[in-house]
Amino acid sequence: MTSATSLFTPVEADLRLLADNLKQLVGNRHPILFMAAEHLFGAGGKRIRPAIVLLISRATMLEKDITLRHRRLAEITEMIHTASLVHDDVVDESQMRRGVPTVHSLFGNRIAVLAGDFLFAQSSWYLANLDNLEVVKLLSEVIMDLATGEIQQGINCFDNSISIETYLKKSYYKTASLIANSAKASGLLSEVSPETAEHLYSYGRHLGLAFQIVDDILDFTSTTDTLGKPAGSDLKSGNLTAPVLFALGEKPYLEVLIERKFNQQGDLEQALELIQHSQGIQQARELASYHAKLAVDHLEVLPPSESRQALINIADYVLSRLY
């Protein structure tokens, strides 16, 4: 399987610069927050979101070098993503993320919530300084969407009547909105046509949905070591994802187990077994493939380049994580 980082060859140097800049952007005025940020930005994330911003920047600026505003947008995107992870981990009470201890498990909930707030505030400050109202609106919407997605997930906890459409809407808010809106923003900074900007948004939207569906499948098919968190943890917490929703139509007893919130011994193990012996995982794979293919179709508006090819390869990589 291709590693994520080998996909980013056209922007390898840009990503190295981004890693250095992120720590500087947080600054060291607040020692604990700085320590939390150092921990987060050094946690070996794949940096897929800023890489997409930088690749789109290069794919839409073939005759010129990318600007400082493109670079800052990539940094803002990673800051927003990281802030959302810190808050998610507090809400989910996760002890591990990417195989390392979460901020709240190291520094406590209070510092974790403040660190997340601080990163959101910092990203908003740098966003305002881009002096592009349309880009500010797009990324501000992302921050609202992240909160909406988290609230929706909480409301739908253990609700086995939710539809695939509701699941995809929540997945858009939680994952795809940031990729879609930052992809579009990147094009706007390159002054692409409104039509091209919409295609870039759609690329990000469908790629983000595919990414989330694949993540949700891996919760059932991967090991704890690979995931960096316990396998089956989404199901245990009542977060019903695509494989579960598809399996529910085939395995009625799954509904009983979910309704009683797996509170009897062996309930969770039985539920996992029912999902494994259903078509749920395969149907979720097909849904992820569908969205990955749609994502690639929207790149046809861009002229051929190494960066455009890397954007296509990212969609292939997202699906390859399943095998």
CATH number of the domain bearing residue 275: 1.10.600.10
The pLDDT score that the predictor gives to residue 228 is 57
Using DSSP, state whether 88 is helix, strand or coil: helix
Q: How confident is the model at residue 42 (pLDDT cuts 50, 70, 90)?
A: low
User: What is the span of the domain harbouring residue 246?
Assistant: 4-321
Q: How confident is the model at residue 227 (pLDDT cuts 50, 70, 90)?
A: low
C-alpha span between 179 and 274 (Å, rounded):
33
Residue closest to 289 by CA, chosen among 220, 214, 227:
214
Q: If you compute the radius of gyration of the chain from its CA atoms, what whole number of angstroms results?
A: 20
Q: How confident is the model at residue 26 (pLDDT cuts 50, 70, 90)?
A: confident
Q: How confident is the model at residue 225 (pLDDT cuts 50, 70, 90)?
A: low
The residue to which tokens 């800052």 are assigned: 72
Q: How many domains does the chain have?
A: 1
The pLDDT score that the predictor gives to residue 304 is 98
Q: In the predicted model, what is the mean pLDDT of the chain?
A: 91
Residues 42, 20 contacting (CB under 8 angstroms): no
Phi and psi at residue 100, in whole multiples of 5°?
A: -125, 160
Q: How confident is the model at residue 123 (pLDDT cuts 50, 70, 90)?
A: very high
The pLDDT score that the predictor gives to residue 226 is 60
Strands 100-101 and 96-97: antiparallel
Report the share of the chain in percent with pLDDT over 90: 72
The region of weakest confidence among 141-145, 227-231, 265-269 is 227-231
User: What residues form DSSP beta bridges with 100?
Assistant: 97
Residue closest to 235 by CA, chosen among 226, 250, 247, 249:
247
